Amino acid sequence: MQDIASLIDDHDAMDKLADRLITAARARQTDPVACRALMTEFERRYACHRAEEEAFLIEDRTNPARSIFDRELMSFREEFTMLTESWEAYLDYWRPAQIAADRNSYIGETADLMTAFKLRIALENQLLCPLVLETGRVGLN
């Protein structure tokens, strides 16, 4: 990701994909294999997003008087470590057979996790985007 517009576009795409996954989970007529395919698509996008963000979200650990950006980044990462762990456990557990066997639990977990991702995306837009622009880590276009 080289510019803020790409970052925001990626956030928007992830947000829409989270909505699609919630909708698919709730629609009992949606086949568990189709639900799993959406989960896989979200995982691919999420993994790419994390990798691209790492290119410019690097903390300056050599500076004892860290910048506001570095302090916020450290806090941000700590808050969302649990989200990533929850996502990995969710992916590991919810295979098509489990989705078919316990659709109600799948619906609840999917809604909860995707809502957490949507909140993370909103926080990234509100907190990280202005900071990466201010620090010059990414450009406008």
What are the residues whose beta carbons fall under 8 Å from the beta carbon of 4, sequence distance 6 or more?
129, 132, 133, 138, 139, 140, 141
Say what the pLDDT of residue 83 is: 87
Nearest Cα to 74, choosing from 62, 60, 86?
60
Say what the pLDDT of residue 94 is: 98
Token reading at 112:
């909860």
Q: Domain-by-domain residue ranges, the chain? A: 4-57+69-135
DSSP at 30: S
pLDDT in tens, 53-92: 776 666 555 554 456 667 777 777 777 788 889 999 999 9
> Which residues of the chain fall short of a pLDDT of 70?
1-2, 55-69, 135-141
Rounded CA separation 59/40 (Å)? 30
Assessment of whether the complete model's pTM goes beyond 0.85: no
Tally Cβ neighbours within 10 Å of residue 3. Answer: 14
